[in-house]
């Protein structure tokens, strides 16, 4: 297994056809299903990298990026492409799309790259399902937000067998400049992604409580953030999310509290299955569950006013 695949340029920009490197997949288009906050940007990155992109979303074409071709169903994407990328809300959606891929008459798709956060169990289920139809699966969740996706600094952490990973290398390179292979079995990248989002959820919630405390003590938020960013309390919450979305009042990171609640639930479920410590996890999970229930679909950076007013 390769340890890392770092900072390779997008395949299309290097003149190589997307999805064709190293594994015998014939030159062809890249499919993209799920054009939400994240998927619409990732599909645009593939277009920008020189891939011919065929898209679909259950809600229609309105977020299909310029330069991509929108088609009316998943079956048509599966007939037109060798590698199909998913950016869907959860494991149930990935499983449903996998069934639609397998049912597509005359399908050509050979590999599915799932960038959705679905958890290890769902990744294994979808991989097993697709394997029955001789379609390979690369578990490839992403971290870095919509802004990171636009800047191509988003981390794509991925896991799968050597052949599948090698065959989809060009497509992964089209998604982002930052990629890391973390395992040789689907589900391993999901485990890392859940650990990451548990940390992100906890840090953002803890920073919200700490800032609320500071404001009540008479401190100014900008001063607090500036000092924290030069101190040991620094994190992505203090250096990025708070300055960009809380201090400015924008609250537009492009990731919902409902998705973060899903991720923390998946994390706690996976910890429960494996057995392991979850004292902080339980507190983080309870807070995000309350926030998602109170304001479903709110930008996740609104955790601060939720905590501050709670
Ligand atoms: P989103 O809700 O904005 O978009 C999901 C899209 O999938 C929607 O457009 C929806 O219509 C479509 N969809 C759902 N079921 C479908 C189906 N069966 N067939 C076709 N289309 C279907 O979500 P998002 O924020 O874009 O996130 C997508 C995935 O990426 C999630 O798993 C999320 O956890 C993960 N993620 C998001 C971010 C972020 O910053 N937004 C960051 C990292 C990871």
Tell me, using a 6 A CB cutoff, whether residue 59 lines ligand 1.
yes
Give the residue ranges of the chain where pLDDT is below 70.
1-28
* pLDDT (tens digit per residue) in 249-306: 999 999 999 999 999 999 999 999 999 999 999 999 999 999 999 999 999 999 999 9
The minimum-distance atom of ligand 1 relative to the CA of 145 is 40
Q: What is the pLDDT of residue 10?
A: 38
Using DSSP, state whether 14 is helix, strand or coil. Answer: helix
Q: How far apart are CA 246 and CA 240, in angstroms?
A: 10
Q: Is 154 in the pocket of ligand 1 (CB under 6 A)?
A: no
Q: Do residues 165 and 195 share a domain?
A: no
Of 133, 155, 185, the last residue of a domain is 185
> Are 227 and 233 a contacting pair, CB within 8 Å?
no
Q: What are the phi and psi torsion angles at 157 (to 5°)?
A: -100, 130
Task: Say yes or no: 260 and 276 in one domain.
Answer: yes
Ligand 1 centroid – CA 158 distance (Å): 18
Looking at the structure, tell me whether residues 56 and 106 fall in a common domain: yes
- Distance, CA of 158 to CA of 178 (rounded, Å): 11
Q: How many beta carbons lie within 10 A of that of residue 105, not counting itself? A: 7
Which of these three, 117, 150, 185, is where a domain ends? 185
Would you say 34 and 25 are in contact if contact means Cβ atoms under 8 Å apart? Answer: no
- Ligand 1 within 6 A of CB of 88: yes
DSSP string for residues in 15-54: TPPTT-SSS-PPS-EEEEE--STTHHHHHHHHHHTT--EE
Tokens 């905590």 correspond to 307
How many domains is the chain built from?
Answer: 2
Question: Ligand 1 pocket test: which of 38, 45, 300 has the largest number of ligand atoms within 8 Å of its C-beta?
Answer: 38
Q: What is the pTM of this model?
A: 0.93
What pLDDT does 5 receive? 37
- In terms of DSSP H, where are the helices of the chain? 39-48, 74-80, 91-103, 120-132, 145-151, 162-167, 169-175, 188-216, 221-228, 236, 257-274, 279-294, 303-309
CA atoms of 153 and 271, how far apart (whole Å):
29
Domain extent for 237: 191-308
Question: Does 103 lie in the same domain as 88?
Answer: yes
Nearest alpha carbon, ligand 1 atom 41: 255
* Statement to judge: residues 127 and 164 lie in one domain: yes
Ligand 1 contacts CB of residue 38 (under 6 A)? yes
The Å distance, Cα 281 to ligand 1 centre, comes to 24
Q: State pLDDT tens for residues 105-132.
A: 999 999 999 999 999 999 999 999 999 9
| Last residue of one domain, picked from the residues 185, 217, 232 | 185
- Kindly report the number of other CB atoms within 10 A of residue 96's CB atom: 14
Please answer whether residues 241 and 301 qualify as being in contact, where contact means their C-beta atoms are separated by less than 8 angstroms: yes
Candidates 33, 36, 126: which one to mutate for ligand 1, based on the most atoms within 8 Å of Cβ?
Answer: 36
Domain identity same for 99 and 10 = yes
Specify the CATH number for the domain of residue 280: 1.10.1040.10
Identify the burial level of 168 via C-beta atoms within 10 angstroms of its C-beta, where 0-12 means exposed, 13-18 middle and 19 or more buried.
buried
* Residues 222, 177 share a domain: no
Shared domain check, 232 and 217: yes
Torsion angle defined by CA atoms of residues 17, 34, 71 and 104, in that order, rounded to the nearest 10 degrees: 90
């Amino acid at each position: 297994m390769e340890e890392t695949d770092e900072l390779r340029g997008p395949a299309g920009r290097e003149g190589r056809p997307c999805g064709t490197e190293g594994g015998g997949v014939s030159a062809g288009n890249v499919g993209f299903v799920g054009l939400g906050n994240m998927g619409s940007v990732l599909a645009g990155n593939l277009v920008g990298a020189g891939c011919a992109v065929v898209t679909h979303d259950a809600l229609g074409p309105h977020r299909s990026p310029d330069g991509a071709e929108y088609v009316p169903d998943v079956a048509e994407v599966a007939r037109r492409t060798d590698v199909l990328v998913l950016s869907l809300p959860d494991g149930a959606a990935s499983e449903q799309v996998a069934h639609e891929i397998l049912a597509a008459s005359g399908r050509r798709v050979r590999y599915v790259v799932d960038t959705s956060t679905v958890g290890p169990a769902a990744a294994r289920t979808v991989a097993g399902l697709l394997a029955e139809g001789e379609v390979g699966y690369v578990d490839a969740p992403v971290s870095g937000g919509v802004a990171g996706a636009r800047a191509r600094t988003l981390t794509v952490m991925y896991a799968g067998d050597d052949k599948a990973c090698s065959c989809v290398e060009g497509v992964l390179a089209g998604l982002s400049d930052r990629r890391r292979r973390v395992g040789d079995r689907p589900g391993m990248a999901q485990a890392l992604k859940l650990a990451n989002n548990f940390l992100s959820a906890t840090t953002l919630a803890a920073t919200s409580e700490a800032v609320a405390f500071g404001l009540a003590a008479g401190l100014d938020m900008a001063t607090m953030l500036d000092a924290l960013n030069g101190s040991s309390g620094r994190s992505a919450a203090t250096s990025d999310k708070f300055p960009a979305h809380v201090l400015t009042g924008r609250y537009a990171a492009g990731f919902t509290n409902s998705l973060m609640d899903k991720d923390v639930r998946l994390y706690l479920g996976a910890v429960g299955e494996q057995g392991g410590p979850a004292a902080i996890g339980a507190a983080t999970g309870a807070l995000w569950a309350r926030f998602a229930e109170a304001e479903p679909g709110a930008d996740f950076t609104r955790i601060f006013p939720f905590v501050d007013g709670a």
